[in-house]
Structure 1
């Protein structure tokens, strides 16, 4: 039996950009469509195995959240295929929480949507509440929660329902260090159980501490994918160059990016940072 859990093949996600609502109508009516194309993800291919802990890195706008939503099945790809072997759970700040409902009602709703019986939910609920550590707020509407509390509740639900594939999108960037450590402990448990974990974080410290592989996205494409020790230093070097760019160089870089993401550049064309030859 194959131990591959996620197989992504030539996946592209294209959006249309409209300047005003009328353009959306023209896009539907006109045979060739209307509006500017925007490629959030272009021709991405990679595989993940049981027990892989993959850090997804890239500067803002590289397609990290688009990819996490594609893997989680929240949005479909425009083209290409995503094959998943197992249940997937996405943990993003407030992902899937209903602001009007209380924390407790959200637990019940999310678990029902995941196919749990009322009996299962009754058994899981105390465990979720204990993990979330939000006290009496559990019976308050989620709209009264801070972003840290939403993240805690979302995380508590997702880890307690025990998925096979876990996608964590910036969920540990809010809240306190103690809770982040508790979440990392739980994720290490999952790692030992052979689950597949995708971890998106701007904290290179967390990525270094937790991930074994790195998937480096650069404006919708895979720039590099491989062992953390090999890829992360290259990405950190790129970040250093990127931050050191002059205003003019940043502007040129942005123009290249916009061309690429509007589909006018060939996929695979390298973007030039200041020190690239």
Structure 2
């Protein structure tokens, strides 16, 4: 039976509407069975050219949901579940095989919109990143102190980016993206790289964005980040959205399931997963006709 419509689904304005999105890739495979599955002539061609046979991977399989103003949405799932692909589709960096995405404004994907140059100092990169996201030079200089404080990298802001650790670079990218106060902010694996002080500052900044009726998406392998920072979470598995609900509760269940998988307690993990699929089964989103929304569709097939 299809899940019923979410009774609270019209509580606030939609910011992102994802409808039946499917993504399919053709990727090389080293599996000998895939090589044997192709014709003899194709095997000879692949051998002569040093290529591998390609297989079809369905990265997203009909994902639908509505994100609303004031939400911080965590996206959970193991490697290969479709988390980052979903974020890139929302950002407009990839086009789905089918389905549509509607956003009321241009989403900012952390680490992509900020055009950072390794040879330049952090200070110059801040200016470049802000200019790339639409600020004037005067506005960029005005927010520089705020960005340095949020990133927490101190005097390193005057050193070349190539001397930064991966954590320092991630924190600076987050600070640049957040400083322009985007309506829709997409964060992929960037908030698990700091200390407790950075976590507190970044959480405070995300709360400010949400209070201004914005929406924040966070992809993280660290379920504790989702548990502590997100009002809502969606659980992805093999390209399918299997759970949607309160962030702290879903993240807690995800952590318990993951722990049992890591301990090879597969029967217990299967039991937890079955319960979670039932408890957090996604509501059928209330999706109006495309003309209802002020913004045009970002993708449509």
TM-score computed with the length of structure 1 as normaliser: 0.76
How many residue pairs match? The answer is 244
Alpha-carbon shift at residue 50 of structure 1 (Å): 0.2
Partner of 1:65: 84
After alignment, is 160-169 or 231-240 more displaced? 231-240
Task: Tell me the distance in 1 between the aligned counterparts of 2:117 and 2:22.
Answer: 30
- Aligned position for 1:256: none
After TM superposition, the structure 1 = structure 2 runs for residues 109-124 of structure 1, keeping only pairs within 5 Å, are: 109-124=128-143
Match of 2:229 in 1: 210
User: Is 1:8 matched with 2:18?
Assistant: yes
Specify the alignment match of 1:266 in structure 2.
none
Give per-residue Cα distances to partners, 1:186-230, cap 9 Å, x unaligned: 112222222111122233333222222110000111011123365
What is the DSSP-based 3-state SS (H/G/I as helix, E as strand, rest coil) of the residue aligned with 1:245?
A: coil
For residues 138-183 of structure 1, the C-alpha deviation after alignment (integer angstroms, 9 at most, x for no partner) is: 2322111101210121011011111001112221111211111111
1:231 aligns with 2:250: yes
Aligned counterpart for 2:116 among listed residues 97, 113, 125: 97
Query: Structure 2: which 5+ residue stretches go unaligned?
Result: 1-9, 31-41, 47-52, 275-301
Secondary structure of 1:131 counterpart: helix
Aligned to 1:262: none
Cα root mean square deviation, aligned: 3.0
Q: Partners in 2 of 1:112 and 1:221 — Cα distance?
A: 37
- After TM superposition, the structure 1 stretch with the greater mean CA deviation from structure 2, 139-148 or 157-166, is 139-148
1:244-267 CA-to-partner distances (Å, cap 9, x unmatched) read 437xx79xxxxxxxxxxxxxxxxx
Q: Deviations over 1:33-72 (max 9, x none)?
A: x721122222111110001111111122211122222222
Q: Residues of 1 paired with 2:160 and 2:205: CA distance?
A: 27
Q: Could you tell me how far apart the structure 1 residues matched to 2:128 and 2:208 are?
A: 26
Q: Does 1:38 align with 2:57?
A: yes
Q: Distance in 2 between matches of 1:208 and 1:102?
A: 35
2 CA distance for matches of 1:244 and 1:126? 46
Structure 2 Cα separation of the partners of residues 236 and 58 of structure 1: 10
Question: Is the CA contact (8 Å cut-off) linking 2:114 and 2:129 kept in structure 1?
Answer: no
| Partner SS, residue 217 of structure 2 | strand
Relative distance call for 1:123 and 1:274 in structure 2 (3 A) is closer
Unpaired runs of at least 5, structure 1: 28-33, 251-271
Is this contact kept in 2: 1:14–1:39, CA < 8 A? yes
Normalised to the residue count of structure 2, the TM-score between the two structures is: 0.71
Q: CA deviation at 1:96?
A: 4.7
Distance 1:187 1:38 in 2: 34
Supply the distance in 2 between the matched residues of 1:180 and 1:230 (Cα, whole angstroms).
Answer: 20
State the match for 2:291 in structure 1: none
